[in-house]
Structure 1
Amino acid sequence: MSPVRRRDLAVLAAGLAVAAWLLVRTLYGDLPALDWWLPVPLAVLALAEALGARTLKTRLDALREARTRPGTTPAARDTPVRPVEPMLVARLAVLAQASAYVGAVFAGVWAGVLLHVAPEVGRLQAAGGDTLAAVLGIVSSGALVVAALWLESVCRVPPGSADDDPAPGVSA
């Protein structure tokens, strides 16, 4: 599996920003008001992925440390090393890649909305609330992309560790 290319995410977000701007510019009067809480699910997903990345990184670092000390078993340490299922890491890597693309899509859409509503704040009453929603959407989407890329980087196998045998008593 190849890592997500940042250039692909940027091109996707930029293209959707232009498309969303054109669509919102055409249909803005017919659209419902954009509430501030619409981007909250993106922020929750970003937080969950960031916490998952931190937890997985801690567990993988502990496993790698246990492997480098050949005479130490997990029972001999103060805190036991919980093994990480390889399929869990693979699934998290796929989730991270999908989330990075979803975050880029929503970042582009929210940026397109912001491009239209921000200049209209003084003229249209609804543009103020829509601008707030668009800014929160861009921040939430950006946070999702960053968290997803971090989770993806945590799931990568470090160079040279694929051929290493685990230390006695430590399972991968």
Structure 2
Amino acid sequence: MHFTRPRDLLVAGLVALALVYLLFQFAYDSIPRLPTFAGVTLLVLAVVEAVLAYVLRSRIRSGRVIQPVAVARAVALAKASSILGALMVGAWLAAFAYVVPRGAELTAAAEDLPSSIVGVLCGAALIAAAMWLEYCCRTPSDGDQDRPPGATG
């Protein structure tokens, strides 16, 4: 498995943006109002992954034994979460791009604007936490400056 590349996230985000924007073009008048805090679930996932990253990083740097399968699972979680975050940022950006120009003429669009902002920010937080978790799962190199003396990797 390869670590996540930024271009993979960019492609996923752009595909989601295009598809959701088209969906809004054709069906915005028939969908219900977007819940303001719908994107907060992404923030909860981001916090969980940030805590996991911190724990794994401290264990790896202290030289404690960690099961390789646990690290592999954490990398798989991080990779899946970063792609999910990119898809959701793209979707919420599409919502934002659709409702901003229509906010003055449609009450529903003005009410959906906070939802899109919260969604974009929480999706970006998930991407950041997932990328940090993935980074923390790497084996420290010999030139790593902030490893304690005597730690093995």
**Do the structures match in fold with TM over 0.5?**
yes
> Which of 126, 131, 137 is the equivalent residue of 2:113?
131
Q: Provide the secondary structure at the position in 2 that maps to 1:110.
A: helix
* Matched residue, 1:12: 12
**Poorly superposed stretches of 4+, deviation over 4 Å:** none
Q: CA offsets, 1:93-114, max 9 Å, x none?
A: 0000010111111111111111
**TM-score normalized by the length of structure 1:** 0.79
Letter in 2 for 1:91: R
Alignment partners' CA distance in 1, 2:10 and 2:89: 10
Question: Structure 1: which 5+ residue stretches go unaligned?
Answer: 64-81, 162-169
Letter in 2 for 1:145: I
Contact 1:35–1:129 (CA<8 Å) still a contact in 2?
A: no
> Which of 79, 82, 104 is the equivalent residue of 1:122?
104
Letter in 2 for 1:133: S
> Which of 128, 144, 149 is the equivalent residue of 2:131?
149
* Matched residue, 1:56: 56
- 1:109 and 2:83 matched: no
Alignment partners' CA distance in 2, 1:130 and 1:13: 20
The Cα RMSD (Å) is 1.9
> Which of 71, 80, 99 is the equivalent residue of 2:81?
99
Question: Structure 2: which 5+ residue stretches go unaligned?
Answer: 144-150
Query: CA shift at 1:128, angstroms?
Result: 2.2
Contact 1:117–1:131 (CA<8 Å) still a contact in 2?
A: yes
**TM-score normalized by the length of structure 2:** 0.88
Q: How many residues align?
A: 146
Instruction: State the identity %.
Output: 35
* Matched residue, 2:30: 30
